[in-house]
Structure 1
Amino acid sequence: MASDFWSPIRLSIEIACVSSLIVLVLGLVLGKVMANTTFKGKAIVETVFLLPLVLPPTVVGFLLIVLFGRNSPVGQWIEWVFKQPVMFTWWAAIIASAVVAFPLMYQSSKTGFEAIDEDIQNAARVDGANEFTLFIFVAIPLALKSIVSGGILSFARALGEFGATLMFAGNIPGKTQTTPTAIYIAIDSGDMQMAWLWVVSMIGISFFMLICVNLMKS
């Protein structure tokens, strides 16, 4: 019973950690680019970035199936390279979690970069800093509080992802069964004891994450 209980929690944390790292890199780069550039159609691009935040998870899952499924060019290429489809795998859960968590990281990092005084960055340029050095040693440290808050919220969102993961990655015990899907199956089968144990665990982890965010803001 102990292994049955810990397996979904361990898998959820692993998936949340990996997807959060992916989201962190993408959120930092795209947040910095969008914070410091203006171009035609910027509002549309930002809307696309934030869309997973408001779309129903089942819609996100459907779009992932269309994009990465075996009938799509991307899905066929992945299957050709890795000799297996991406759907119903550990990586499918990573992709689903990263997609739904990305808007939180992007919005937080972009807000942090926009708050940086442009005079500070210009002074660094005058001192000879190139854009990469400026990004790593000036922009990120100055926006660190927003970045950390976004990272924590992204992790919590990836940890609790259910709909898109269930559709795209399935519910394979020990492989793609995360805690949210395990709770759903436990309730459906009438195992309320296990469901409660997983629910309390998720509440505890999520509460800790939100406490960290609030401490960062204070």
Structure 2
Amino acid sequence: MLDLIKTIDWSPLFISLKTGVLATVLTFFLGIGAARLIMKVNTTAKSIIDGILTLPLVLPPTVAGFFLLLIFSLRRPFGRFLFEEFDIKMVQTWPGCVVAAFVIAFPLMYRNARAAFEQVDVTMIHAGRTLGLSERKIFWKIIVPIAAPGLASGTVLAFARAIGEYGATAMLAGNILGKTRTVSVAIASEVASGNWDKAGFWVCVIVILSFLIVAVINYISGKNMKFGNRWI
């Protein structure tokens, strides 16, 4: 086992973690923003927009990766524009890992944030308006603190999805060791090469990370239940 560990290139773990952290930060703020905006939209438009925002959650990751390739390929207008005007390239690069992870993880944060906001007691919002608070202050000082447990769960789930993403990442960012090879991509690559020991090692790493993430979610849920019981 020690001999195996000595031969391991740890870059996939570091790439997965930094990809997951950055993608989670993006999903946190954009997911909250999207959930807040969707609450203000009329019923018909809300269903359509909600469906679009949730679509990556139900699509196969390879399909999402295909669409990302269509958007960011240098052969396509938008991808060519980003490269020529801003020197930004998504295909076969680490930013592509982040974009793929963000797209796949975003619906989890958005859905959890929306559910958390919908459970906020409207009387608290009316009380804030009665006190003369602006809508922005009501959102950040009343709604967000009350919805915090749901937002925390969504954040943890988004992070778990981001670090475990494979399909869209492989399609958009590829499999470049030390650059775009994440843990999930490394597992598939090692299995394809017949290196079952290394593949098993990375599987163990993912299992341990997943267990820790589930433990964090259970801890947050437990804290939320205690908080709720205190008010019953």
Bin of the TM-score, shorter chain as denominator length: over 0.9
The more displaced of 145-154 and 74-83 is: 74-83
Q: Deviations over 1:180-216 (max 9, x none)?
A: 0101111111111111111001000011101111222
- Residue 109 in 1 paired to residue 113 in 2? yes
The more displaced of 187-196 and 92-101 is: 187-196
The more displaced of 81-90 and 99-108 is: 81-90
Give, as a single letter, the amino acid of the residue that structure 2 aligns with 1:102. F
Task: Indicate the residue corresponding to 1:201 in structure 2.
Answer: 205
Q: Deviations over 1:145-186 (max 9, x none)?
A: 000000000000001000100010001111100000101111
TM-score (norm: length of structure 1):
0.95
Task: Indicate the residue corresponding to 1:8 in structure 2.
Answer: 12
- Return the alpha-carbon distance in structure 2 between the equivalents of residues 119 and 38 of structure 1: 21
**Unaligned 5+ runs, structure 1:** none
1:41 aligns to what SS in structure 2? Answer: helix
Give, as a single letter, the amino acid of the residue that structure 2 aligns with 1:20. T
- What is the Cα-based RMSD across aligned positions, in Å? 1.4
Identity %: 34
Give, as a single letter, the amino acid of the residue that structure 2 aligns with 1:63. F
- Residue 34 in 1 paired to residue 38 in 2? yes
CA contact (8 A) 1:15 1:158 kept: yes
- Return the alpha-carbon distance in structure 2 between the equivalents of residues 146 and 69 of structure 1: 36
- Return the alpha-carbon distance in structure 1 between the equivalents of residues 151 and 7 of structure 2: 35
CA contact (8 A) 1:64 1:168 kept: yes
Residues 152 and 198 from structure 1, CA distance in 2 versus in 1: closer, same or farther, beyond 3 angstroms? same
Task: Indicate the residue corresponding to 2:129 in structure 1.
Answer: 125
- Residue 80 in 1 paired to residue 84 in 2? yes
TM-score (norm: length of structure 2):
0.90
1:42, distance to aligned residue in structure 2 (A): 1.4
Q: Deviations over 1:31-85 (max 9, x none)?
A: 1222344243211111111111111111001000111111222212210233353
| 1:1-218 equivalence runs, <5 A | 2=6, 4-218=8-222
**Unaligned 5+ runs, structure 2:** 223-232
Residues 186 and 206 from structure 1, CA distance in 2 versus in 1: closer, same or farther, beyond 3 angstroms? same
- Return the alpha-carbon distance in structure 2 between the equivalents of residues 39 and 3 of structure 1: 56
- Return the alpha-carbon distance in structure 2 between the equivalents of residues 85 and 15 of structure 1: 16
